[in-house]
Amino acid sequence: MAVIVRIPTQLRELSGGAAEISAEGATVVDVLRALEVAHPGFAERLFDDSGELRRFVNVFVADEDIRFLEGVNTPVAPGATVSIVPAVAGG
């Protein structure tokens, strides 16, 4: 069940420069943990010491913020796009 993960500039050093990588997983947390397996270093950047997603990391599934869905337990359909977006700016 491969999904596409969009990698922001700040994390591309971990993906070998790739802006998109393929990963396996049925939920957001599965997909993000799979990134760590394929490209070590992702987990400590995305999750804090207690294992929670860092509060300035935004994750979107098919363009919807996962905080409007089921958080890191949001299901991810095969072929869907998961976007990791750094701290929103704006305002």
Q: Name the strand (E) or helix (H) holding 32.
A: helix 28-38
Q: How many residues does the chain have?
A: 91
Report angle CA 57, 59, 61 to the nearest 5 degrees.
180
- The reply to whether 86 sits near another protein by the rule CB under 8 A is yes
In the block, which residue shows the tokens 């010491």? Answer: 49
CB of 23 to another protein, least distance (A): 19
Asked if 17 is part of the footprint of another protein (rule: CB under 8 A), the reply reads: no
Considering only residues 39 to 68 of the shown chain, the ones binding another protein according to CB under 8 A are 45, 54-58, 60, 65, 67-68
Site residues (vs another protein, CB under 8 A): 8-10, 45, 54-58, 60, 65, 67-68, 85-91
